Amino acid sequence: MGAKECIEEGKAYLGIEFGSTRIKGVVCDGEGNVLAMGGFGWENSLKDGIWTYSEKEIFNGLKACYADTAKNIENQYGIRVKRFAGIGISAMMHGYLAFDAQNHLLVPFRTWRNTITGEAAEKLTKEFQYNIPQRWSISHLYQAMLNKEEHVKDIDFFTTLAGFVHWKLTGRKVLGVGDASGMFPIDPSTKTYDRTMMEKFDALAKETALSKNLADLLPEVLSAGEAAGVLTKEGAALLDESGVLEEGIPLCPPEGDAGTGMVATNSVKERTGNISAGTSVFAMVVLEKELSKVYPEIDLVTTPDGALVGMVHCNNCTSEINNWVKIFKEFCDLYGINPDMNDLFTKLYSVSISGEPNCGGVLLYNYLSGEPVTGFEKGALVLARTANDNFTLANLMRSNLYSAMATLKIGLDLMLKEEGVRVEKMYGHGGYFKTKGVGTRVAAAAINAPVSVMETASEGGAWGIALLAAYMDKKGSMGLSEYLSDVIFKDAKCEKCEPDAEDVKGFDEYIERYKKGLAVERSAADVL
């Protein structure tokens, strides 16, 4: 079936993902071929010390992304799309969206980026004997309870961003198991919330103003391929202001960006993993067994079909690289040069390869915000070097690229070196890997394992959630990993980079100096 016929007959699938800086829409067919895309740029705001997006921004962004996608379909195929075979919603994981019994948002959305739940995360980790990071939804809820915030007594339901949007489109309060695993721990045997830990939480909650048991507050958990509701009349109007889109379209379980990243890189099997590197960075490895102990640096989440995953998540990645590139753009402007920004990024990324494997001693800390993996509630942007260090453009840019992966490496080393977790395939996706042969080389050095980037990696999580929407029609005949391997990625091409021994040695030297220099970062964060 041709692309136009597929869309015209309502047999295409739509995925929309809310990223940190962009809301992206992807339309594909059942084999994963991308037929159309659209998007809308947005930015979080720091209001009263909280990183947030307003409710108005969320739904204006949803409408704008869909309108752009629909316009591109009409321009490309001459079709005003009325129907899809399935729709999926994905978004940044974690965070906190709490509602009262009248479905009113009680406090502004608290995103994953906030590092304001340290007390709650520490107490829950100790109580559960299970790592509960600051950004998890249950940490935000418990911190609000500990703070005796006024809204706690009125909480009737809380969810993630993907769960919120899906609820408004379908009327169903559900989550995919991958996204749910970033709200509260999942029991891999039941693929729903861990009952013992829920009981422990309810015991803690008796001393607070929370009026309901946790089980009554959380969304229902669904696995990949399960029916998660249909687009209501109100949902269709919310998504498509033109009124052309029809109601009744099936939606797959809403997922988090970690799960859609796994799907988009075919990394849902054991011993596979992926690195998603953009504004933030996280790496995930599908585990063969549980870890031997609790690591504060490692989250345990799940694939969209419920397999256990070790995850290291860092708040900061490419933002400081972007800032340095802007500085070089200003330098070009002084000479009346107007370089293409994509070309400038490519040149600056590429020159890093000629730098020394240990960056010549040049250290960078990219902590635009706090970084829980290394114990920072707030951050500072630091360039540190001595008079004996080799401060060159190549070493500066290489240090930028190392810095973006440094905290991630600290966490991953615990899994790969301390626990002996095996990784046979690691896939990269996100803006960090856009320049061919650079991001993959640095990441391979960081983990001392091959890293690959697929040609489809640039489609990212929006494509991943579109694939999960398509999988609803295949669940009865094959598992998720089988669907991805045998249908979607059977002819996939990728750029693979083996680790270079000198790079690995250089990155290890860099990371040892980086760890010692965290005292400098700590001082800067405290003083500045």
Q: What is the pLDDT along the chain (528 residues), one digit of tens a residue?
A: 799 999 999 999 999 999 988 999 999 999 999 999 999 999 999 999 999 999 999 999 999 999 999 999 999 999 999 999 999 999 999 999 999 999 999 999 999 989 899 999 999 999 999 999 999 999 999 999 999 999 999 999 999 999 999 999 999 999 999 999 999 999 989 999 999 999 999 999 998 999 999 999 999 999 999 999 999 999 999 999 999 999 999 999 999 998 998 999 899 999 999 998 988 898 999 999 999 999 989 999 999 999 999 999 898 999 999 999 999 999 999 999 999 999 999 999 999 999 999 999 999 999 999 998 999 989 999 999 999 999 999 999 999 999 999 999 999 999 999 999 999 889 998 889 989 999 999 999 999 999 999 876 556 889 999 999 999 999 888 999 999 999 999 988 888 999 999 999 999 999 999 999 999 999 999 999
Q: What is the pLDDT of residue 456?
A: 65
498: three-class secondary structure by DSSP: coil
The answer to the question of residue 142 being in a domain is no
Count of other CB atoms within 10 angstroms of residue 493: 8
Residues 491 and 345 placed together within one structural domain of the fold: no
Report the predicted TM-score, pTM, of the whole model to 2 decimal places. Answer: 0.84
What pLDDT score does 492 carry? Answer: 84
The per-residue pLDDT for 458 is 59
Q: Are residues 432 and 461 in the same domain?
A: yes
Assess if residue 149 is contained within a domain.
no
- 387 and 457 inside one domain: no
Nearest to 369 by CA among 317, 300, 410: 317
Q: Which helix (H) or strand (E) holds 274?
A: strand 272-277
Cross-strand bridge partners of residue 105: 99
CB 473 within 8 A of CB 97: no
Asked if residue 126 is part of any domain, the answer here is no
The DSSP H or E segment spanning 426 is strand 425-429
Predicted local distance difference test score (pLDDT) of residue 287: 95
Neighbours of 196 (CB within 10 A): 10
What is the rounded CA–CA span in Å between residue 245 and residue 271? 41
| Residue 285 covered by a domain | yes
Residues facing residue 15 across a β-bridge? 26, 88
Longest CA span, the chain: 67
Q: Judge whether 69 lies within some domain.
A: no
Domain that holds residue 354: 319-410+501-527
Residues 6+ apart with CB under 8 A from 321: 366, 400, 401, 404
Residues 428 and 305 in one domain: yes
Q: Do both 406 and 421 map to the same domain?
A: no
Q: How many domains does the chain have?
A: 2
Kindly state whether residue 347 falls inside one of the protein's structural domains.
Answer: yes
387 and 288 within one domain: no
- Beta partners for residue 13, in sequence order: 28, 86
User: CA triplet 65, 230, 213: central angle to 5 degrees?
Assistant: 100
Q: Is 448 contained in some domain?
A: yes
- C-alpha span between 222 and 34 (Å, rounded): 26
- The CATH number of whichever domain residue 491 belongs to comes to 3.30.420.40
Give domain status of residue 92, yes or no.
no
